[in-house]
Structure 1
């Protein structure tokens, strides 16, 4: 079969999710031929993942009929033929609905194929002196072999129609003894690590991912953000994403020397360590940010608004955002006024109402509540839908309110008079107290995340539900 010259670079999808066949432009003349075997910019434009290859391997096969595989490895591969021609067979050996799906094709040097982690790869040479090449995005090691998944070349379920019968082909003894599909343990997906799993958002993330065995939850005692050992002891190659819901949030204490050190250690230094890990291993980092990165002199705040923090807490969060923004795969989820399981403003107001207290509450700070269950759902939506990386505002929707408005709503919803709540300015409320400066405008513009298909519930609906169920339900 003659190789076709000067084809247009194009892609063809296959029955196996993530497996994509590429036609490569090959330019030839009387001297031979030339091709761009892998061209990151052009291929990414066609949808090839930015899989960051780190090693290039070549399998040379002297005789036609040499047959290798079916091996599913714990890394992605971009495969092509340097010289000769092969019959390729790929079987999905990952956990999921597509387990066992098969795709076959003949490949010459004018074609290439992308094979995601966990998809079994096999080939049979159709010509002598065939060289089969592949880029991989992890370094081969002897330890990694324990993470391989194998399928027998003669599996009856896959029913691969080998051009040269296996009885006449050249096989290794190991390949002859690999299990049938019914005996294969599917390769599990890479894991997600959730940090800060004991906080309000962390508890909501635990709830939304409770049935997902690929998700690990790390509370403060499980993962010390300040310890180099915590980062070194984990095999990051097995992770696809990190959700950083951990933060130092004691806004007023951050203005004191000890609090300032703690805020920067957790909100900046630890975030930089996470960023280094994520960048080195191609991990998606989801980082939870705050309305405090703005000074509150304008609004609603857009994702592209220049950062202008007032106090130490806001400055540390803004610095963390800047670090995370440099990671190729990142989501900065900016939120405000978080309400979940644990101590929070709504729970405090409900307690005051129950005790008959008539509080003075700030009435010139404007924003929206962000219920932890909706933040968690929004984060899961971003990761599942694989929308463009970047910054996304995420709060509940509805009309912006002051803290005093919300407090009055809590009183009313719990059967107490709204006028028990008295409004007071921020300046008056904190008069004579050592307190951090607060942004007066905290409302976040939600158009960007809505455009991805995620529609946050209104804050008033969530507030009513929250109080009806009980603050810690």
Structure 2
């Protein structure tokens, strides 16, 4: 019997993400009416499904009591409700993880609905004749998608079917599905790392490892500016894109050729990824830069400070930030003075020290060194921790310093006299340059208060010592 007059509410279950909704149904002698799916009201009621994004609505009709449909797990989310009649439903978590095999059962009538997350097996048994239920799904069926099944009679799940399975209508295919011990779990959605061969890309590879659900793509594997990027992958299989690809040659960006390349990599490609992420419910991680600021602020830059880039590189990074900010699920990771695996400032200073060269290093730019391993770890913690979308400053921690002071520290840590390093102004350093030079922000210090709530920050001095003496 359908219950009338209930308040819209949600009930959680032992299966993460599987929630039961009580729906208000208004009835009289003529019949009844309900709002089956009303995103605004459901969000206001605390039902966390605003990004469900259904693309298809299906209806299943069953004329006989006891019609039973098998335990199928699909690579999309599903919102199920009864239009007429009544069903007994059983759900089994078939995703990789600690809750694999967890079971939940309940009855559904027109006043109850259930949201079934990707990878949770669902099955139904009709309890009244002429039962029809509808389900919204947020992807289209594909023969290339991954599906997982469980036998209805599995002894481990031990579903207490109201009508014994030997007395009901079941398809032959459903009868032959595997027991739980033989089920291949539904893998998590894929993570795509672009720019995988760069300094940050290599750090992300070290952070995530070679899991089957992690995909690493260099420029030769995936052209982010290609017109067919939208069909280059089955994007609905991806949960996260970490874009570590970028044009970072700040001085070259001031040349005609470099300007074109910088806008292509830092804006056009990012816009293409943003569109893909928005259309497919993907979390987009975008790496930003201190160069979006002019460096004139007295004090550290916060995430909400207005951008004011000085050069072409900074302009393209600021434009990319603006594009990513409209993606429903996004992280803009703003960093500075990046040091990783490959040619960089620290390795250059160490090499000069070893070769007996006494460098002049600018002393009027202030910031913090940031190591790519720490950026990669912070990105993973933001994603895994479910941090709210937005901008996060990720740099080394501790007392800010100039490039000059950082160079002296490199000399000291490598056993050389730091007094061999002398300071100079930015203007004097570039005074003899014959090629275009990008303006640098004098203050690159980023405020870390927001980020500290989600991930520990790394002391720059400690990280620098470990970088230069990895065996210590």
TM-score, length-scaled by structure 1: 0.96
* Other-structure match for 1:276: 275
Match of 1:178, SS state, is coil
Could you say which residue in structure 2 is the equivalent of 1:131?
Answer: 132
**Per-residue deviation, 1:85:** 1.0
Q: SS of the residue aligned with 2:381? A: helix
- What does residue 242 of structure 1 align with? 241
1:36-115 pair list within 5 angstroms: 36-44=35-43, 45-48=46-49, 50-115=51-116
* Aligned match of 1:147: 146
Return the alpha-carbon distance in structure 1 between the equivalents of residues 410 and 270 of structure 2. 36
C-alpha separation in 2, matches of 1:233 and 1:260:
27
CA drift at 1:49: 5.3
Q: Is 1:358 paired with 2:355?
A: no
* Structure 2 partner of 1:341: 341
User: 1:93-242 maps to which residues of 2 (within 5 A)?
Assistant: 93-141=94-142, 143=143, 147-242=146-241
Offset at 1:395? 0.6
RMSD: 1.5
Shift of 1:379: 0.3
What whole-Å deviation, never above 9, does each CA across 1:2-43 have from its counterpart, x for those lacking one? Answer: 322222222221111211111122222333222221121232
SS in 1 for 2:59: strand
1:375 — aligned with what? 375
Distance in structure 2 (CA, Å) of the matches to 1:328 and 1:47? 14
> Structure 2: how far apart are the matches of 1:148 and 1:419?
65
2:307 equivalent to 1:307:
yes
Distance apart, 1:292 and its partner CA: 0.4
In the alignment of these two chains, the number of paired residues is 467
SS across alignment from 1:268: helix
Matched residue, 1:22? 21
SS of residue paired to 1:278: helix
Q: Contact between 1:73 and 1:120, CA under 8 Å: does it hold in 2?
A: yes
Worse-matched range after superposition: 435-444 or 40-49:
40-49
Q: Distance in 1 between matches of 2:229 and 2:179?
A: 39
Structure 1 position 97, deviation (Å): 2.1
Cα separation, 1, equivalents of 2:185 and 2:67: 26
- Contact 2:68/2:169 (8 A) holds in 1: yes
Query: How far is 1:230 from its partner?
Result: 4.9
Tell me if the contact between 1:40 and 1:50 (Cα under 8 Å) persists in the aligned partners. Answer: no
Cα distance in 2 for residues equivalent to 1:125 and 1:232: 40
The runs of 5 or more residues in structure 2 that have no matched partner are none
Separation in 2, partners of 1:232, 1:110: 40
Shift of 1:231: 4.6
CA distance in 2, matches of 1:198, 1:449: 26
SS of the counterpart of 1:138?
A: coil
Question: Residue 39 of structure 2 contacts residue 50 of structure 2 at CA under 8 Å; is this kept in 1?
Answer: no
For residue 351 of structure 1, give the secondary structure of its aligned residue in structure 2. Answer: helix
In the alignment, which residue of structure 2 is the partner of 1:326? 326
CA 1:211 to 1:232, structure 2 compared with 1: closer, same or farther past 3 Å? Answer: closer
**Structure 1, unpaired ranges of 5+:** none
